Every structure is written in structure tokens, then in C-alpha cells.
């Protein structure tokens, strides 16, 4: 039987959740992400750009936060270029870095805002309300995040004996909101911001994978795959491999939705080339096609 481990640091979360989410549907037996020893593989997901389109939410919050302090709105390509560096997974740090590159904090220029103040401005745009409060009261960009998959997608994974879960750099209230309230997953295995070191550190990824398999990773464990949309996600798998060379890992990658538009074909090709260059084993056309890519890889 799967048990929560103390190092998941979830000790405070259930109390808040039980108040907010008590009306959630009970998970059906068909949708059990923890298939323990019977699973053929573990598939972990990044959330932003993979499970939900954050072009109009997190990415827009970066743009508006930078504009708030500098009067400039960075182009999507500038955010992509920053993300391609592999170390700007945290959108607060990414916003601050864009401000630094716009000249704030330099000699004779305007100062950089204090980090805490920037976080408050960013969260005002993104949540538009208390992140720890009732999601029904949120008025920010989080309210307009198209989903890239539906609940049936996870039912298909479970039916194929694939254990699944989420490793995300999003704040826990935001990750819980999309998984539980939007997708109707009642108890999703998840590691979010602050529950493990930021990606590309693989600690959280490795911890959740071992937890889902129910045994230590290594030569006897089933393959562990990760689907992400940034270089940091690919590097997370690469570093996991360095830590556990005998465990089989698979790095799957997908271009984020804003690059999937027909008029973005050229930028998408360059972006996908960066993912492969960083070490992705396979780039897939969209999240919904991940099971077929995983089946192909498992058959090899």
C-alpha cells in the first residue's frame, strides 16, 4: 500500500485542502495513479506548458511584472531565450532577471525591486487574490488557462499500467488548482515549488518516482519518464541519470502551446532543436500523444 513519506513535507497541506476542496469527487478505482509494483513504467509530468497553457497566465504575469517596473513588455521570444538557458524555471527569478537585463540595478540606472515586492506584484497579476485563500475569489490570469489534456487522458495511462504524477515549479496552490479543480484528479501525486529543490535539481523527480514505484530506483525498477517543455526539464532527467546510472530514464519533451501555432513553425523547430541538444530522448508533437511515444520507447 502506498504511504505518504514524511519527507514529502505535505504535513501542512491537507489541513488547508480539506477546507477548500472537500467537495471534490472521490477518485474512481480506474484512476489510481499509484499502481505500485504492477506498473510497467512511471510517467511524471511538468505542469506549465504541458498540462495547461500558461501563455496567458504565468507568461503574461512575467510580461506585466516586467512592465510594471520598467515600462517594457518583453516579447515571447525573449522569455523563450531566457528559459532556453535552463536555469530560469522559477518565474519570479525569471522576471527579476529580465529586469536586470533591461538595465535595472546597473550603475546609474534605477534599482531592482526587492524580491518580496516583485513576488507580490507578480502574484497580484497571476492569482489576483490570496493564493492560500478560496480559488473562487481569484481574479487573476490563472482563471484563463486552457487545459491541454482531460481527465480521460490519465484514465488511459492507468489502464495501460503506467503510474503517473507531477513535478512542477508552480506554487502549490496553483498546481493543486489545475490538477484537482480543473482536471478533477482528487489526490494527484505531486511535488510543487518549495517541496523539493528547484529543477533542474532532480531530487523531487527521483523522490516521487521511487514513491510511485514503491521501491528504490535502480537496475530492478521500471523505467521512469519525464515529460517537460523546457531545457530545465530535460536537464532534470540528465542529472537524475548522473545520480542513478543504473536506473532507466527517458526524457520526453514537447514545445509549449504558444509555439504550436502554425505561424510559429520556424521558432518551434529551433526550440525543439534546443530540447534535443540539451539531451531530450524524444520530442513529441503534443502532450496527448505521450502514451504512444512511451509505448514505442518501452518496446525498444
Binding interface with Mg ion (CB under 5 A): 46, 48-49, 229
The residue (of 69 and 145) whose beta carbon lies closer to Mg ion is 145
Distance CA 126, CA 145 (A): 11
Name the minimum Å distance from CB 91 to Mg ion. 10
Name the minimum Å distance from CB 4 to Mg ion. 25
The residue (of 129 and 173) whose beta carbon lies closer to Mg ion is 173
Distance CA 176, CA 183 (A): 10
Distance CA 47, CA 170 (A): 8
The residue (of 46 and 53) whose beta carbon lies closer to Mg ion is 46
Distance CA 170, CA 200 (A): 14
DSSP state of 183: T
Name the minimum Å distance from CB 230 to Mg ion. 5
Task: Say if CB 45 and CB 227 are below 8 A apart.
Answer: yes
Distance CA 17, CA 19 (A): 5
The residue (of 48 and 213) whose beta carbon lies closer to Mg ion is 48
Name the minimum Å distance from CB 46 to Mg ion. 4
H or E stretch including 42?
A: strand 41-45
The residue (of 33 and 49) whose beta carbon lies closer to Mg ion is 49
Name the minimum Å distance from CB 258 to Mg ion. 12
Neighbours of 232 (CB within 10 A): 23
The residue (of 44 and 102) whose beta carbon lies closer to Mg ion is 44
The residue (of 49 and 165) whose beta carbon lies closer to Mg ion is 49
The residue (of 89 and 247) whose beta carbon lies closer to Mg ion is 89
Name the minimum Å distance from CB 28 to Mg ion. 28
Rg (CA), the chain: 19
Name the minimum Å distance from CB 180 to Mg ion. 19
Name the minimum Å distance from CB 206 to Mg ion. 19
Amino acid at each position: 500500500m502506498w504511504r505518504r513519506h514524511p519527507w514529502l513535507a505535505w504535513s501542512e497541506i491537507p489541513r488547508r485542502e480539506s477546507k477548500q476542496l472537500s467537495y471534490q469527487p472521490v477518485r474512481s478505482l480506474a484512476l489510481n495513479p499509484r499502481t505500485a509494483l504492477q506498473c510497467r513504467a512511471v510517467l511524471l509530468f511538468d505542469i506549465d506548458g504541458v498540462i495547461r497553457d500558461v501563455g496567458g497566465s504565468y507568461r503574461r504575469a512575467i510580461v506585466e511584472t516586467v512592465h510594471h517596473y520598467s515600462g517594457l513588455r518583453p516579447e515571447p521570444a525573449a522569455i523563450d531565450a531566457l528559459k532556453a538557458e535552463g536555469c530560469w524555471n522559477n518565474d519570479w527569478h525569471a522576471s527579476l532577471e529580465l529586469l536586470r537585463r533591461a538595465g535595472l540595478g546597473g550603475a546609474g540606472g534605477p534599482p531592482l525591486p526587492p524580491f518580496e515586492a516583485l513576488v507580490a506584484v507578480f502574484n497580484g497579476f497571476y492569482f489576483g487574490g490570496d493564493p492560500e485563500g478560496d480559488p473562487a475569489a481569484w481574479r487573476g490570469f490563472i482563471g484563463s488557462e486552457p487545459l491541454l489534456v482531460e481527465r480521460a487522458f490519465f484514465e488511459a495511462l492507468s489502464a495501460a499500467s503506467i503510474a503517473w504524477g507531477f513535478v512542477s515549479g508552480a506554487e502549490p496552490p496553483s498546481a493543486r488548482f489545475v490538477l484537482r479543480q480543473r482536471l478533477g484528479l482528487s489526490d494527484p501525486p505531486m511535488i510543487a515549488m518549495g517541496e523539493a529543490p528547484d529543477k533542474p535539481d532532480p531530487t523531487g523527480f527521483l523522490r516521487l518516482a521511487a514513491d510511485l514505484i514503491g521501491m528504490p530506483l535502480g537496475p530492478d525498477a521500471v523505467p521512469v519518464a519525464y515529460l517537460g517543455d523546457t531545457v530545465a526539464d530535460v536537464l532534470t532527467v540528465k542529472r537524475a541519470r548522473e545520480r542513478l546510472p543504473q536506473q532507466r530514464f527517458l526524457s520526453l519533451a514537447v514545445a509549449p502551446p504558444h509555439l504550436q501555432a502554425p505561424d510559429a513553425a520556424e521558432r518551434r523547430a529551433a526550440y525543439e532543436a534546443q530540447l534535443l541538444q540539451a539531451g531530450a530522448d524524444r520530442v513529441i508533437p503534443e502532450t496527448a500523444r505521450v502514451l504512444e511515444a512511451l509505448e514505442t520507447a518501452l518496446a525498444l
